[in-house]
Amino acid sequence: MVHISRICLRKYGNFVDNLRLYVRGGGGGMGLPRLGGQGGNGGDVWVVAKKNMTLKRIKDKYPLKRFVGGSGGNSSVRALKGEKGTDVEVPAPVGIAVTTDDGRIVGDLNEEGDRVLVAKGGSGGSLYSAFEPTKGQAKHIRLDLKLIADLGLVGFPNAGKSSLLTALSNATPQVASYAFTTLRPEIGKVMYPDYKQISIADLPGLIEGAYMNKGMGHKFLKHVERTKQLLFVVDVCGFQLASKTPFRSAFEAVQLLSKELELYKEEVASKPAILVVNKMDLPDAEDKLAELKEQLKNPEEFSDLLPGDMIPKNYMTFRHVVPVSAMTGLGIDHLKSCIRQSLDEEATLKSSDVLQEKLLRLQMKAVTLGKPPSCFPTRVQASDHTDQHMLKDEYV
């Protein structure tokens, strides 16, 4: 039995996934020409990963979103070498990418304590600069949250994503019988009996041409990029966005969604995915589900159903295909189990890869020190506690 957390939804108004800040290093201090004194350098501005920090807290605590390093001290008779200006630290959550306005990556904050220099202080006046100081670097930077949830719901408008989030996490996003009820991400959480929590993001619905920034376009796709895995949601009976747009079957919807992700970034389309076939309470749903499953087994044979420019390069392979009814609750518990299984498998796989990388480093170190690498295992399993301990010590 899966237990649901009571507080399961963070409204977008309390959820900030990117922030633009102004940063400027402190100016250098004046030199002292008659005695050859050197002014102090200006203070630097750093972005530092802190525990329990969120972008929302930064926005609330620093409404001006402006961070300036301290000015360097002037050279004087009492102190020929001026003091360095005070450094300023911008607290940020773990999992942040720091970029410039033009998209250039300045650095990543992947662990608590990681630091990125974003604005260097100016140099103090010295003999080489005619004792004149320089100004500190000044720029705008962006803090982008790289991961907003474990899973992101991907689907066309009115596929039932919001209803599914409600059924999965007891969240209360806006639900209606018209398209585009979700305009901004809603985050729901599922709590399991062992207190493991999994976050699921209900993202704005895609439309055909999203990769070209139609509809919510790149805003949606940027959010998809920030989830570990994807939860495709399709209406078992298909959908039609508007009277002037073509009707799409469930199979067509799956392939069109895959293509939109692929055209945006191929690595997004390669994320692990689960297919949720929703609205199984509708008439003829079982027959349509059987037809969809047959089509997914051999998608190439049914590619003629799609426009030529919307056939994916690589057909999506789903870890699970789960029929549900968000309305009646049919299949919801099974879906929760599949979600947990998929995330656990991925975590185990990543742990194994990390350990294998450490093993290779260990073997190379042994060769450098003239030790025989044959004493080390050639393959490490994530569940092998002895090997994990050995690799953690990294053979000192």
> pLDDT digit string (tens) for 288-347?
999 999 999 999 999 888 888 788 998 999 999 999 999 999 999 999 999 999 999 998
pLDDT for 373 equals 54
Segments of the chain scoring below 50 in pLDDT: 1-13, 173-183, 208-217, 382-396
Q: Give the tokens for residue 230.
A: 């994807």
Query: For residue 261, how many other CB atoms are within 10 A of its CB?
Result: 27
Query: For residue 95, how many other CB atoms are within 10 A of its CB?
Result: 16
pLDDT for 219 equals 59
Homologous superfamily, domain 151-330: P-loop containing nucleotide triphosphate hydrolases (3.40.50.300)
pLDDT for 67 equals 98
Look at the domain 18-145 and name its fold.
Spo0b-associated Gtp-binding Protein; Chain: A, (2.70.210)
Picking from 355, 354, 376, 350, the residue whose alpha carbon sits closest to that of residue 365 is 376
d(CA 89, CA 129): 28
Domain boundaries, the chain: 18-145, 151-330, 352-395
Q: What does the pLDDT look like over 25-45, one tens digit per residue?
A: 999 999 999 999 999 999 999
